[in-house]
Amino acid sequence: MRTLITTACLALGLSKGAFSQQEAMRPNWCGSVEAMEKHFLNHPELKQRFDAYQAQANSQQNQPQQRTAAATYTIPVVFHVLHQYGVENISDAQINDQIAIFNRDFNRQNADTNVVITPFKNLIGDVHFAFQLAKKDPNGNCTSGINRYYDANTASWTGQASDYLYTWDSQKYLNIYVVRSIASGAAGYAYYPGSLSPSDDMDAILILSNYVGSIGTSSVGKSRALTHEVGHWFNLQHVWGNTNNPGVACGNDQVSDTPITKGFTSCPSQAASDDCNPGIYENYQNYMDYSYCSVMFTPGQATRMTNAINNGIVGRNNLSSPSNLSFTGITPVANCAPKADFSSNKQVVCVNQTVNYSDISNISAPTSWSWTFPGGTPSTSSVQNPTVSYSAPGTYSVMLTASNANGSTSETKVNYITVVSTPQTASLQEGFETGAIPNATWSVRNLASFSSNWQQTSAASASGSKSAKVDQNIEAGTSVELYSPTYNFAAMPGVALTMKWAGAERDTSTHASSDVFSVLFSTNCGATWSTRLNRNVKTGNVGVSALKTGGNFVPTPSQFYQDNVPLAGLTTEPNVMFKFRFTAEYGMSNNFYLDDINLTSLTGIAEIPLVSNIQLFPNPASNLVTIEFDLVDDKNISVELKDVLGRLVKTGESSYLQAGHHQISIPLGDVAKGIYFISVNSNAQVLTKKLVIE
């Protein structure tokens, strides 16, 4: 049996080839067992109750199912997406795809049951569970069944009781929390029925955002992680038993038609699947295994889940009751107005480029649409998915009103579209002295729903009396962006881009900030971007213009740091645009200032190399030397130690590094005393520094 470790509580593909090794490498699989054991340490009375329920469930296992063969249990579902405006804020489409996967897997409608091995061909269970997003919230208001919350817990979920702020009554809804990262390293977990008190806020499923559905940030190979977790929520154990240790010992999951097994962490051949009882093949294709080729439940598992959903002691029996389906707006379907929402294929375009808008209104389907496009052609539209162009540079808002027989709602996205000018050939000298931001030359965009953005300020400047500023305390993980005009470098030979900025780390007792200032470029009107400069606004890093400053940072002119942006490879491009981006890493940012942006000829200005500011410490050194340098673009970098004759003595880290500040260390304990040279090598440049070893 191969020992490739699968992801997630599990990550299961539609076919054996659907799961990559990269997806398979996680330190933990499913965190359900560990989460319950941790909870039982604090609540031993619940452990006794849980054990009693499990004994009852095991005794019921061989009894007839408590429904007719045609009965279907409808389960109202609500997703709580915790995010910091990053990729973890997954789309409605990705969540709807997950609902479709639930309804496929729990009703034996998946086409890949054709790969089930012969001993289990007649043991593919049909659970008869139907999953629907809730249409009414606990207060009786219309809902899409998808809630989004700005919450820092998404970055490292610990699973404390206080983390479950948003749970709706678990006796009425199946709650699923979506987060970016789980501190334990698992991809998800769920609490078995009976392990918590009824209506406990913790009685919810947790899952990583890139394990939801098969589209968007997820993939087919990870699309059945939630199928596994829902199995736990309805009282299924792992097929080897109630542990998180597959492949260790033969075990029993209390289901008669799943053979004794150790469990698998990869997909074996049928011949290799009889470790526990030779000649009796094991159900490695079961959703509750850690195999990546799992495609089935068994009838016995269907019985166990049916018993769980009918059990009043653990509160699951109310989910599919007629009164609860009415309460949650499932049956009859709630009469709701649509909640207007929209997206577009582009948000940064050049003059006269088209933008395709898409209606993504939810809760209820609209039957009519009313769009408003200030500065656009057309300026209004009544079609569902219009196409619009803009004839003048600037930053524009968009509004949609979506309606049906039950009412209408409106959504306005301020500064949603950024339109940049046709390429210019004149030099740029921008000190932000005249005109507010945004204006006809400079456009802005924030990547969240808050109002803070780049703005003109007279509080500080490198020269003159004004500069561009980002206010302190923008929300963690979010960015604000400032866009330059576009330039035809082919008609501007020998140009260099310089600027001055001022930033400071905010002094707090809890956490050091790690804000980032970046300069990016695009040669295709913002369709794609590449980083050309990254600066960490953090004490000790190259370019920091001030030490920690509690409160409101207002720099003096001498605290502005002058930076040069390398233009290698761009000097003949006919359409170059720059984006100046400030990102608040931890929500403890201080004020940031940008001034004196100059795009001029190279007269008197030396363009900085892609690798710069190399430093060695200590020097002289004895046991270890650390090489510190700035990388202003993403590059393959290698570090070498050579003697005075140019012979290679040692090689340090060799890898693809992102733009920014880096430190690489080389042990020197086995190197003789003398004079050596450290070189930092990119594919186009070598920087060398002398090192003394004593």
Mean pLDDT of 496-512: 73
The torsion angle over the Cα atoms of residues 42, 43, 44 and 48, rounded to 10 degrees, is -150
pLDDT tens-digit map of 161-185: 999 999 999 999 999 999 999 988 8
Per-residue confidence at 507, pLDDT binned at 50, 70, 90? low
Strand locations in 304-406 (E): 342-344, 348-350, 354-359, 368-372, 376-377, 380-381, 387-390, 394-404
Q: Which secondary-structure segment (H or E) carries 179? A: strand 174-179
pLDDT at 147: 97
**Boundaries of CATH 2.60.40.10 in the chain?**
342-420
pLDDT at 676: 87
Fold of 29-223+300-327: Collagenase (Catalytic Domain) (3.40.390)
Task: Residues 342-420: name the CATH superfamily.
Answer: Immunoglobulins (2.60.40.10)
pLDDT tens-digit map of 222-257: 999 999 999 999 999 999 998 888 989 999 999 999
In the chain, helix, strand, coil percent, each to 5? Answer: 15, 35, 50
Determine which of 36-50, 90-104, 294-308, 328-342 has the lowest per-residue pLDDT on average: 36-50
Determine which of 247-261, 277-291, 454-468, 568-582 has the lowest per-residue pLDDT on average: 568-582
Mean pLDDT of 614-626: 83
Q: Where are the alpha helices (DSSP H) in 218-348?
A: 225-233, 299-309, 322-327
Q: Hey, which residues are catalytic here?
A: 229
pLDDT at 232: 96
The DSSP bridge partners found for residue 135 are none
Determine which of 80-89, 317-326, 353-362, 651-660 has the lowest per-residue pLDDT on average: 651-660
- Please enumerate in sequence order all residues whose Cβ is within 8 A of that of 650, keeping only pairs 6 or more positions apart, or say none: 640, 641, 666, 667, 668, 671
Q: Are strands 342-344 and 455-457 parallel, antiparallel or unpaired?
A: unpaired
How high is the mean pLDDT of the chain?
85
The DSSP bridge partners found for residue 37 are none
What is the rounded distance in angstroms from the CA atom of residue 327 to the CA atom of residue 152? 31
- The CATH number of 611-693 is 2.60.40.1930
pLDDT at 270: 92
Evaluate whether the domain defined by 428-601 bears CATH number 2.60.120.200.
yes
Share of the chain above pLDDT 70, in %: 86
Determine which of 31-40, 133-142, 203-212 has the lowest per-residue pLDDT on average: 31-40
What's the number of CA atoms in the CB half-sphere (13 Å) around residue 59? 6
Count of beta carbons in the 10 Å neighbourhood of residue 93? 12
Res 62 pLDDT > 70: no
Res 21 pLDDT > 50: no
Q: Which residue has the tokens 């295994």?
A: 289
Determine which of 67-81, 188-202, 328-342, 677-691 has the lowest per-residue pLDDT on average: 677-691
Task: Name the nearest CA neighbour of 193 among 205, 206, 184, 183.
Answer: 205
Phi, psi of 305 (to 5 degrees): -70, -35
What is the rounded distance in angstroms from the CA atom of residue 437 to the CA atom of residue 439? 5
Res 675 pLDDT > 70: yes
Q: Which secondary-structure segment (H or E) carries 408? A: strand 407-420
DSSP designation for 319: T
**Boundaries of CATH 2.60.40.1930 in the chain?**
611-693
**Boundaries of CATH 2.60.120.200 in the chain?**
428-601
pLDDT tens-digit map of 306-359: 999 998 877 899 999 999 999 999 999 999 999 999 999 999 898 999 999 999
Residues in the chain: 694
The model carries a pTM of: 0.77
Q: How far is CA 689 from CA 623, 663, 680, in A?
A: 18, 15, 9
**Boundaries of CATH 3.40.390.10 in the chain?**
29-223+300-327
Per-residue confidence at 20, pLDDT binned at 50, 70, 90? very low
CB of 598 within 8 A of CB of 497?
A: yes
What is the rounded distance in angstroms from the CA atom of residue 48 to the CA atom of residue 54? 10
